[in-house]
Each structure stands twice: as structure tokens, then as C-alpha cells.
């Protein structure tokens, strides 16, 4: 990787949760804990994990839509936390976001033209009304919307069209980085494919860098260059897309992949599944040692005592497991084979 355009260093975001009772002390909920990664210009990093694992909070903390409690976010070598309000407003032109719910993210009282133009009023206040409208119409055509729709309201559009409006709003300031916060999860499958293709096209033509958040592994596999797997706010695996999907280093990644549907019925029947027990623990009171150990089929005593470091198993590919890599795969295969024998 060349000089990274975005560097995240030991980022943590903690929320204070009030308890019932007048004098009860608030509890600390660690939504994101000690996350680090680099993102190169023009690269797409896929962030995956179960609901509640901290994916969206991580994306919003990077953009300072949620203020992190520790760590650094370096944008083009500068710490965003050190930016003055005026500098942060200027940086907003380069940093954008696409939200999960396409309808809820649009103001129902504003026309499509006003929604898309709103970031321009902040980023480029000196732009004339005529030039602003021309930019909006050009971006609408680029994302597949007819410019004649400029005076319509959000309720007149389908979910896929509404997400195109959200994408137009995100790219109208010509940003360098876009956080895609589960941009297709609320859409039909056929529309998902269109939106993914649109994002890929915009990335190529505009030279965008994407942080793509999703729980859908099939979508992440299509769009990502590298993968970051989160569990309870922590990074449990990171690496190139092919390595993570073909040779997962962590039991949690293996479980996510085995739960994903496969279009080939024969391949689906023949693959070995890793079944997880129970639900994820509460981030308010996480387990000692490895946070995944309470659901891990290969956990041992050391997992309860020592938090596993993020150890490299191949160049650029790392897993946070005491048995990361081949040893984890061997143990998981043995557990899956034993389950198959007992089922038979």
C-alpha cells in the first residue's frame, strides 16, 4: 500500500448507559474497542460482523459524527480530533456517508433538488444558484435519476430510487472517502445488485475510497479489496478478501462464512458448518480474555485468561485467536466432523 489516505489508530468509542435508580452509577458500553487499520486511496475496505458488533459506530466515529473516546483518526496524515471547527467543515467536503435506511435518511419536507444540494451550501457557499442546480442535475443523471425529478419529494420514490438520492447527496461535493453504512440491506435483492454496480462504477470513475459496512458477506465479497471482521467492537480478523474468504484465520469468521447461503445446492450440502452457541454477550459486561470464547467451539482455558493478540498468519492477513490460522481450521474441522457423525 502507498501512503494511506486514512489511518485509524487504537480507536475506541464508549457510551454511558444510565441505570434505573436515582443514585445508580452509569455503565460504560464499549461499542468500539482498540480498532486500528490503514486505508489506501482508491481502496474498498469491507467491515463485517453481526448486528450490534459496532460496525456503524466505527464508521460514524471515523467521520466524527460520533466523538470517539480514545485513539486517533488520521486523514491524509492529520488527526481529525485536532481540526478546528472551520477546518472540520472544510474536511466534510472530502468525507461523506451513505446511510442504511434510504427513506428515513431523507427529509420528507425537502425536494430532491434541495436534499442533494444541501451539502453544497455548506461546502461551497459561494456557488451560485444556477451552478448549484447544474451540479445537482449532473449528479442525478450520474446516479440514474432523471433530472426532471428535481422538484419531487422523497415519498414519491421507491426504496432503490431513494438510495440513489442518498448516493447523489454523498457524491455531490466530490468527496475522496465515503462511508457506506449498510447501503443495500433495506433493499430487494435485484435492487441491491443495481446499487452495488452503481457504487462500483462511481468508485472507478471518481477514484473514490470506500469504507463498506455490511452484514451480507456476498455483497462484501463483491465490492471489497480487504476485509475487517468485528466482534463485540474488536477486530478479530483482517486481511485481503481472497485470504479471508478462502482461508479464514478466526473461528468467528469461519462461522459467518458457513452461515452464508451458497447458490450451489451440492456445494451447500457438502460444506462443513460451524455452529455458534447462544447470542453475543453484552458489550457492557464482556467476557474475560477472548470476547468470543463463550460461543467458540474450540475455546480452552487460556481463552478465558489471556486476550489473544491480532497475530499475522500470512502477509497482510491476521487473526485475534490463540489458535489463529491452520490450527484453528484443523480444530474446527474436527468439531464439525464430530457433529456430522453424531447427527448421522
Average pLDDT of the residues of the chain: 90
For residue 268, what pLDDT band results from cuts at 50, 70 and 90? low
Evaluate whether 313 touches 325 at the Cβ level (below 8 Å): yes
Kind plus residue range of the DSSP H or E element containing 244: helix 241-246
Q: Which residues contact 172 (CB under 8 A, 6 or more apart)?
A: 116, 117, 119, 120, 135, 136, 139
Model pLDDT, residue 107: 94
Mean pLDDT (whole number) for 235-259: 92
Evaluate whether 164 touches 152 at the Cβ level (below 8 Å): no
Angle (nearest 5°) at CA 92 between 87 and 96? 160
pLDDT higher than threshold 80 for residue 130: yes
Mean pLDDT (whole number) for 246-267: 81
pLDDT in tens, 281-330: 888 989 999 999 999 989 999 999 999 999 999 999 999 999 988 888 88
Q: Which residues contact 104 (CB under 8 A, 6 or more apart)?
A: none
Kind plus residue range of the DSSP H or E element containing 139: helix 129-142
pLDDT higher than threshold 70 for residue 265: no
State percent of the chain over pLDDT 70.
94
d(CA 255, CA 85): 43
Angle (nearest 5°) at CA 213 between 210 and 215? 145
Task: For residue 344, give the 3-state DSSP assignment.
Answer: coil
Model pLDDT, residue 3: 80
For the chain, which residues make up each domain, given as ranges? Answer: 6-224, 248-344
Mean pLDDT (whole number) for 168-188: 93
Model pLDDT, residue 263: 65
Model pLDDT, residue 197: 93
Model pLDDT, residue 156: 94
* 6-224 CATH fold: Rossmann fold (3.40.50)
d(CA 212, CA 225): 10
Kind plus residue range of the DSSP H or E element containing 78: strand 78-79
Amino acid at each position: 500500500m502507498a501512503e494511506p489516505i486514512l489511518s485509524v489508530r487504537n480507536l475506541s468509542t464508549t457510551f454511558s448507559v444510565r441505570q434505573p435508580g436515582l443514585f445508580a452509577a452509569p455503565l460504560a458500553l464499549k461499542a468500539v474497542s482498540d480498532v486500528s487499520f490503514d486505508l489506501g486511496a482508491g481502496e474498498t475496505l469491507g467491515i463485517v460482523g453481526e448486528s450490534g458488533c459496532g460496525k456503524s459506530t466505527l464508521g460514524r466515529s471515523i467521520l466524527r459524527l460520533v466523538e470517539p473516546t480514545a485513539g486517533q483518526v488520521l486523514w491524509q496524515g492529520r488527526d481529525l480530533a485536532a481540526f478546528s471547527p472551520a477546518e472540520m467543515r472544510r474536511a466534510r467536503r472530502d468525507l461523506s456517508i451513505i446511510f442504511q435506511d434510504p427513506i428515513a435518511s431523507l427529509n420528507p419536507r425537502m425536494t430532491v433538488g434541495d436534499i442533494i444540494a444541501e451539502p453544497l451550501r455548506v461546502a461551497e457557499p459561494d456557488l451560485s444558484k444556477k451552478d448549484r442546480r447544474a451540479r445537482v442535475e449532473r449528479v442525478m443523471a450520474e446516479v440514474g435519476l432523471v433530472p426532471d425529478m428535481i422538484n419531487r419529494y422523497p415519498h414519491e420514490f421507491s426504496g432503490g430510487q431513494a438510495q440513489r438520492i442518498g448516493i447523489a447527496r454523498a457524491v455531490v461535493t466530490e468527496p475522496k472517502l465515503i462511508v457506506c453504512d449498510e447501503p443495500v440491506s433495506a433493499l430487494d435483492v435485484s435492487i441491491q445488485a443495481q446499487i452495488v454496480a452503481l457504487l462500483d462504477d462511481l468508485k472507478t470513475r471518481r477514484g473514490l475510497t470506500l469504507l463498506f459496512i455490511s452484514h451480507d458477506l456476498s455483497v462484501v465479497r463483491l465490492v471489497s479489496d480487504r476485509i475487517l471482521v468485528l466482534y463485540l467492537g474488536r477486530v478479530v480478523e483482517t486481511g485481503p478478501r481472497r485470504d479471508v474468504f478462502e482461508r479464514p484465520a478466526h473461528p468467528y469468521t469461519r462461522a459467518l462464512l458457513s452461515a452464508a447461503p451458497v447458490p450451489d445446492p451440492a456445494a451447500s450440502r457438502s460444506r462443513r458448518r460451524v455452529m455458534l452457541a447462544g447470542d453475543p454477550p453484552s458489550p457492557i459486561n464482556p467476557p474475560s480474555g477472548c470476547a468470543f470464547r463463550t460461543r467458540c467451539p474450540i475455546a480452552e482455558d487460556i481463552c478465558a485468561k489471556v486476550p489473544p493478540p491480532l497475530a499475522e498468519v500470512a502477509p497482510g492477513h491476521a487473526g485475534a485467536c490463540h489458535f489463529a490460522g491452520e490450527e484453528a481450521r484443523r480444530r474446527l474441522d474436527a468439531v464439525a466432523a464430530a457433529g456430522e457423525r453424531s447427527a448421522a
